[in-house]
């Protein structure tokens, strides 16, 4: 038994290393968010100003500074700025919620359930992609979900230790605020209010004084300094524009989406576990009312599953109610869905439930169709797209074919745990190997152009200006310039830039027909460098 437990834990460690750390620096930073935030961190370290954020030589009051502090620390520890040193603190921080998830699952059930739930999280498709890029939402996810897991611990910890988990709830919530602002406190408070009502608990009031002090000690100093130094601009930008107006749905970031946007996101983001989650959730609706009545007196394991379900719904409702929506906002829900998926896998492995087996048959049919489609997809893609997609296609087919065969064989032969492990191995390979190829495919349609132009400007000591490209921060990061003039629609400005010496003027290829006659000096797939004829 002891050896079996060691093997289970070793599997989890290997999946994390292979899926999340290997090849982490093998692909460039993504435009626009990753290049923007890492560039700002690089500038913070260079200037030594660890309080005020700057972007393109202007104040940046959209976000708090914790992400940038972590990046600077990583640059110092790992010997400089690189794709790897930018991403590794984000990945390592994800060990926090993973560790709490593992410990809670082990406490309320056993080690096997803890391993299965942890692996369900590490192999969820969107979690794989988002957790490995250096953006604020990845840091926020780790901290706010850790805060929620600490709150869960208050239901199961001994009375003498309960207060410590309450205080940790406040501490990690405060850190989440320093990572992304008000959502860092809104999500845990919403969860605590809902759970206190459902489970008829009153502990929350008891720990507010000390917890509130801890929260304020962590969050207030930076905010006070910024208010004193930059008001009223800081209030207008940070509080009013980027918290209130963005949540209410004004077009600050032009990301208005329908209310069901995150339901669609979860449908693909939870692949492959969505195949067992959806049928189970639908079947559960029939007995939901009866189960809900006795929720207060359930055993620890069932109570823990309810807590995770409530947390997932609270996060889903909170971000769905916001006017501005991005797919990255919903990532904090994935650890809680992973526990629910883990419970379904655990029961299936222990008891062979027919509903899950049928769901896995559907999943295998889906992946079999995907394998066939991947073999012939180049026939329906435009030639230019097909050429760039070829590496993704080859790697995907190489991984998909043995996975489908192995998955069907383990399913039909009744090897239920082996079936789960086959799925875990496949998704780990997707995470560690396919991800770099997928991103490089995306770069081929514009970002490769920008990185090439940026490198040329850096090598030739030139400045850069752009017309109609939008704010493409890979130009900033890969050129190392302190300032780039991103311009929109002023033709007089464009004419002047054409003749400005020692400057690269970049435009979108599709806009060339609407511009005065120019000489194309460097041509790319989406962008070109132009000058006077």
Give me the DSSP letters along 371-411: HHHHHHGGGTS-HHHHHHHHHHHHHHHHHHHHHHHHHHHHH
pLDDT, position 8 = 87
Structure token digits, residue 151: 């709150």
pLDDT, position 243 = 79
- CA neighbor of 104 nearest in space, from 149, 164, 68: 149
Cα–Cα distance between 230 and 239 in angstroms, integer? 13
For 527, the 3-state DSSP assignment is strand
pLDDT 10s per residue in the chain (533 long)?
A: 667 788 889 999 999 999 999 999 999 999 989 999 999 999 999 999 999 999 999 999 999 999 999 999 999 999 899 999 999 999 999 999 999 999 999 999 999 999 999 999 999 999 999 999 999 999 999 999 999 999 999 999 998 999 999 999 999 999 999 999 999 999 999 999 999 999 988 889 999 999 999 999 999 999 999 999 998 999 998 988 887 777 776 565 566 788 899 999 999 999 999 999 999 888 876 666 556 666 777 899 999 999 999 999 999 999 998 877 889 999 999 999 999 999 999 999 998 889 999 999 999 999 999 999 999 998 888 888 888 899 999 999 999 999 999 999 999 999 999 999 999 999 999 999 998 899 999 999 999 999 999 999 999 999 999 999 999 999 999 999 999 999 988 889 999 999 899 999 999 999 999 898 899 999 999 999 999 87
Contact 308, 340 (CB under 8 A): yes
- CA neighbor of 23 nearest in space, from 432, 441, 337, 531: 432
Cα separations in angstroms, 300 against 105, 296, 347: 10, 10, 16
**b/e for 413-434, b at 16 or more Cβ within 10 A?**
eeebebbbbbbbbbbbbbbbbb
Contact 87, 25 (CB under 8 A): yes
What residue spans define the domains of the chain? 34-93, 94-348, 352-425, 447-532
pLDDT, position 508 = 95
Record the pTM. 0.95
What number of residues does the chain have? 533
91's CB contacts (< 8 A; 6+ apart) are 20, 21, 24, 131, 132
Structure token digits, residue 189: 């408070």
pLDDT, position 255 = 64
pLDDT, position 428 = 96
For 93, the 3-state DSSP assignment is helix
Cα–Cα distance between 279 and 401 in angstroms, integer? 26
pLDDT, position 257 = 80
Find the DSSP H helices in 252-299. 261-269, 274-284, 288-293
């Amino acid at each position: 038994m002891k050896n079996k437990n060691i093997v289970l834990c070793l599997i989890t460690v290997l999946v994390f290393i292979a899926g999340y750390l290997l090849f982490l620096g093998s692909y460039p930073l993504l435009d626009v968010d990753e290049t923007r935030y890492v560039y700002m961190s690089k500038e913070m370290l260079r200037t030594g100003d660890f309080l005020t954020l700057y972007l393109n030589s202007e104040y940046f009051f959209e976000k708090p500074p914790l992400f940038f502090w972590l990046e600077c620390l990583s640059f110092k520890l790992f010997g400089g700025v690189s794709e790897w040193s930018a991403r590794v603190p984000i990945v390592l921080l994800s060990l926090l919620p993973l560790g709490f998830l593992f410990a809670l699952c082990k406490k309320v059930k056993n080690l096997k359930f803890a391993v299965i739930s942890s692996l369900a999280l590490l192999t969820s498709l969107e979690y794989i992609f988002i957790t490995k890029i250096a953006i604020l939402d990845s840091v926020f996810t780790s901290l706010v979900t850790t805060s929620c897991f600490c709150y869960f611990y208050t239901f199961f910890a001994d009375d003498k230790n309960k207060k410590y988990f309450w205080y940790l709830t406040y501490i990690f919530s405060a850190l989440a605020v320093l990572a992304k602002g008000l959502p860092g406190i809104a999500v845990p408070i919403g969860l605590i209010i809902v759970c206190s009502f459902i489970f008829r608990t009153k502990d929350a009031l008891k720990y507010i004084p000390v917890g509130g002090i801890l929260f304020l000690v962590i969050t207030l100093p930076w905010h006070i300094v910024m208010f004193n130094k930059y008001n009223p601009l800081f209030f207008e930008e940070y509080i009013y524009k980027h918290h209130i107006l963005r949540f209410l749905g004004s077009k600050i970031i032009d990301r208005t989406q329908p209310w069901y946007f995150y339901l669609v996101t979860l449908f693909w983001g939870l692949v492959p576990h969505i195949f067992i989650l959806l049928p189970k959730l639908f079947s559960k609706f029939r007995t939901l009312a009866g189960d809900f009545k006795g929720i207060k007196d359930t055993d620890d394991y069932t109570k823990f599953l309810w807590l995770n379900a409530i947390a997932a719904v609270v996060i889903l409702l909170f971000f769905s109610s916001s006017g501005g929506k991005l797919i990255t906002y919903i990532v904090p829900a994935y650890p809680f869905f992973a526990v629910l998926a883990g419970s379904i896998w655990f029961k299936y492995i222990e008891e062979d439930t027919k509903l899950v087996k049928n769901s896995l048959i559907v999943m295998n049919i889906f992946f079999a169709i995907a394998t066939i489609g991947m073999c012939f997809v180049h026939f329906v893609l435009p030639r230019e797209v097909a050429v760039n997609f070829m590496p993704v296609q080859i790697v995907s087919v190489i991984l998909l074919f043995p996975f489908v065969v192995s998955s069907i064989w383990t399913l039909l032969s009744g090897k239920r745990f082996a079936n789960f492990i086959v799925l875990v191995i496949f998704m780990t390979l997707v995470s560690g190997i396919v991800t770099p190829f997928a991103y490089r495919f995306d770069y081929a349609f514009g970002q490769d152009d920008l990185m090439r132009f940026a490198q040329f400007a850096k090598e030739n000591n030139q400045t850069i200006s752009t017309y109609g490209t939008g704010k493409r921060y890979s130009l900033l990061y890969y050129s190392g310039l302190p300032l780039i003039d991103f311009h929109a629609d002023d033709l007089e400005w464009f004419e002047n830039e054409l003749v400005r010496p020692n400057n690269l003027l970049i435009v979108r290829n599709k806009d060339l027909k609407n511009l005065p006659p120019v000489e194309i000096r460097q041509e790319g797939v989406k962008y070109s460098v132009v000058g006077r004829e």
